[in-house]
Structures are given as structure tokens and as C-alpha cells.
Amino acid sequence: MFVKAILSILVIFHALPALASQPNIVFILADDLGAHTLSSDGNPIMETPNLDKLAKAGMSFSKGYANAATCKPSRAAIISGQYAPRTEIYRVVDRHKGKDEYIKFKVPPNATHLALDNITLAESLKSAGYTTGHFGKWHLEKYKSYLPDTQGFDVSYESHKVHFGAKINMDKTLPKDVYIGDFMTNKALEFIADADHKQQPFFAYIPYYLIHKPWHAKADDLAYFDKKLGTKYDATTMSVAAMTKALDDNVGKVISHLEKLGISDNTLVVFTSDNGGYKMPSNVLNGQLRGYKGEVYEGGLRVPYIFKYPKVIANKQRSNEMIMGIDIYPTLLSFAKAKVPQQPLDGVDLMPLLTGNKKAIAQRSLFWFFPKWERYQEKTGKWFNSWRNVINNGRYKLIEYPDLDKVELYDLENDPFENDDISASSIKLTTQLQQELKEWKNDISAHQEIINPNFKETRSNK
């Protein structure tokens, strides 16, 4: 009896560290923050001291990619851990409506919401004992029955489209003088404090609406940059700089809150953006990268990534490994010691890389499937943007245009700004990448290119 009692105590004692080793998780997602928006990434205008400090305290990435060039499909990939053909969320808005006869192929249907049978990141963490909170932009629903509280979040405040006077949870409106970023931060801090008081591991998902349009900056932040920059930059750049400061200030509040509660050392903090920066007169969001939000050139897809977990992830690390939004799901599950759900996860677990157990990720290609058409031009009979698929194997990046029956190929190692299309001079490589892209589409059951029976040919597309 005595021996059994001792063994029972030892078993319980042995289990305690495993439970205590589950870190709290804070996942901060910015909106439209380009790869070179942070001052630590060389931006000459923006001031992001808190995010710069966060980057120095852990590992940041120079080759981080979003899963899509626009908000909704990117967020769906993060929350589901899946490429777009699995969720069938491809577009924010069907901008081709009414012009379908000018599209060569049948348009793949676009899901309005993330299906409830998809096991979300929040649901997986909740199953592992986490309390889960969502504070900010969701963008994965059309109806109330698909909001965050139906997708694994215990607490949710969901914002809609503006920085002042925003709709919250679809049925409440903020007073006009309350800034949405500040409001969401305060709600997240309340959630974190409550979870800490209850000694329960938490997952706080804070997807800020910053720095998305419209240009709604706080008066004090605008005044600061007006004094600093004067008339050197246009009004849009001034507003975006002020909004970026507001984002950074709120990130600082979250980090400071963790430190005051004494839980910073047991909290994994992740920061990234949903897609590249949008087009601006001064082009200060994406640096010299080609393109911007909505395009599949590097400016539309590259985003910052920062991971901080004191004593687990060494500080002052900068990785050149190629990572993507779909990697967040399996990585957080690994840190949380949570079970992998019974559904496909397309990303890789970054924990061995982040903790130093591995120096590199096994070689892989990244893919984008982007059937989106916008801005049909009557005079030319062309779309400004049409269907694009992409494969990036770490060095070479191929862009496929199904409607136009053409491809582009770039050597990102020697041509990081995608100035020189080498597809015509690298036929063998182009063919190999096209075949790999085709095999991926088949493996993932992506929508096939089926001729539109109502297609109306014009001079430009014959």
C-alpha cells in the first residue's frame, strides 16, 4: 500500500511540470503590414520601437510569406492551417460579378465563411486545456452563426471595417471617440489577467484592423508625425505612419501587461501580418519589393514574422528560412503539447527551428492558388488582374497565368525584386516547376481549369 501511495505521488509530481510547461500564447496579427514596414526592417519613416524590441528578444524572419495577397484567404489559412483549395476561401469580394462572360474558365466558387466542420486553431488549443480569446478582425463569416464564438473562442470581440465608431460583435457600436485598436487591446488585457488569475493557460488572438484603410489615425499621432516629417511626405503616408505607431503602442501595452503580471517568461508571443502592404505614393510598406497587396509579386506576399519565448527561443536571431501562415497552426500546437486534429494541416512545425534543435527546415516549395479577377477594361478587353497560381521553391518562383496561357519565372536569389523574367531562357526549369505546381494542385484537389461555355472572346484574349 505504502509503495503504491509513493508511486502515485511520484506520478502526479512527474505530471505537474508537463502541465506547467504549456506556455500562454499571444498571437498578434497586423493588417496590411508589409515586409519592410517596421523600423527594424529598415523603414526610414515608421517608428516601431516595441515591435523592434520584440524582434530582438526572439527570432524574426527575412523570408516570411502570407498565404494570400489579400486578407480573407490569408486569415482562413492561418486559422485552419490549410491552403486555400481546402477551405475554398479565395477572394474577399467577387469583383468579377457581371463580367463572367469575359473569363476563360469557370470561376471556382468562393466560400463566404470558414466551414464549421473545420477544426480551427482555437478549437485545437481549447481541447488542450487553453481558454481562448479573440479581439479584433475576424473576416471569416457572412452570418452570425460563423463568428469566432462558433469556432472555438470562449471570448470574442469582433470589429468591422473602421477605426472609430466600429461595429463590435455586429450588434454594438463603439462611441466615435474610441479607437478600435485601443479598445481591442484593453479587452485582450482583461482576458489575459482573468486567465492568469485562474491559473489557466490562455490563447489570446489579437488580429488588429491596423493598418488597413480607411486612414483613421489618432490626432496626437498625426500631430507627432506632422512635426517630425513636415511637408516631406504626402498625407496618406503621414496617416499610415501614425496608424503604424498606434499599432506599435498597443503591442507595447500587451508586452508590458505580460511583464507586470509576471508571466512574460511563460508566454509565447507571435507577430505577423495577413498580407503585404498596399499601394502608396511613397511605397514605404514593402521597401524595394515588387508589387503590393492583391498581387502575387513579393510585395504582396512577404510579411514580417516574430517569435518570442524567453529561455526557450534565443534572442537576437534572424532566420533566412522560408515560412508561411499555414505553419503557425502546427507550431502553436507543438508548443502547447496539443493533439494534431484529424484533418490535413499543410504547414510545418517550426518549433525545432525556433528552439535551436534544428538549423533549417527540410526543403519544400510554397504554393499559392489565387483565382481572382478584377477591373475588367472594356477598351482593351483585359482584366487588370486575373487568375494566378504560384510556386516558390526557395530560390525560383514561377507565376502561372491560366487565362493568358503564360508564365513568369524569377530567380529570387539573384533577382529579389523580380525585375527579370527568365522563363524564356530557362525552359527546362520552367517546365519542371510547372509540373510540380500541377502535381500539387492535383494532390490538394484544387479546382480545375474548365472552359467557361459562355466565354466571349475579344481581340485581346484570342
Q: What is the pTM of this model?
A: 0.92
Confidence of residue 370 (pLDDT cuts 50, 70, 90): very high
| Among the ranges given (138-152, 225-239, 332-346), the one the predictor scored with the smallest mean pLDDT | 138-152
Residues 74, 35 share a domain: yes
Co-location of 357 and 368 in the same domain: no
| Count of domains forming the chain | 2
Closest CA to 368 of 391, 386, 387: 391
Same-domain check for residues 418 and 329: no
Helix or strand (DSSP H, E) at 439 = helix 427-443
Q: Are residues 164 and 256 in the same domain?
A: yes
Residue 14 lies in a domain: no
Question: Chain-centre distance of CA 325, in angstroms?
Answer: 5
Residue 146 domain flag: yes
- Confidence tier at 462 by pLDDT (50, 70, 90): low
Statement to judge: residues 282 and 425 lie in one domain: no
E strand intervals along 66-123: none
332 shares a domain with 294: yes
pLDDT at 4: 37
DSSP for 242-270 reads: HHHHHHHHHHHHHHHHHHHHT-GGGEEEE
Residue 41's domain comprises 24-82+118-361
The average confidence (pLDDT) of the chain is 91
Judge if 122 and 108 occupy the same domain.
no
pLDDT tens, residue by residue, 249-269: 999 999 999 999 999 999 999
Question: Tens digit of pLDDT for each residue in 402-459?
Answer: 999 999 999 999 999 999 999 999 999 999 999 999 999 999 999 999 999 999 876 5
Type of residue found at 63? K
Residue 13 is assigned to a structural domain of this protein: no
For residue 226, give the C-alpha cell: 506632422
Are 284 and 404 in a shared domain?
no
How confident is the model over 200-229, as a mean pLDDT? Answer: 93
How would DSSP label each residue in 308-363?
A: E-TTTS-SSEEEEEEEEGGGHHHHHHHHHTPPPPSS---S---HHHHTTS-SSPPP
Structure confidence at residue 181 as a pLDDT band (50, 70, 90): very high
**Both 281 and 298 in a single domain?**
yes
Let me know whether 317 and 374 are in one domain.
no
Whether residue 147 is found in the same domain as residue 191: yes
Q: Closest Cα partner for 38 from 237, 210, 286?
A: 286
Greatest Cα pair distance in the chain: 90
Across-strand partners of 367? 391
**Helix (H) and strand (E) counts in the chain:** 12, 16
pLDDT at residue 2, as a whole number: 35
pLDDT digits (tens, 9 = 90+) for 232-255: 888 899 999 999 999 999 999 999
CATH of the domain at 424: 3.30.1120.10
CA–CA dist 459, 79 (Å, integer): 43
Q: What is the CATH number of the domain that holds 203?
A: 3.40.720.10
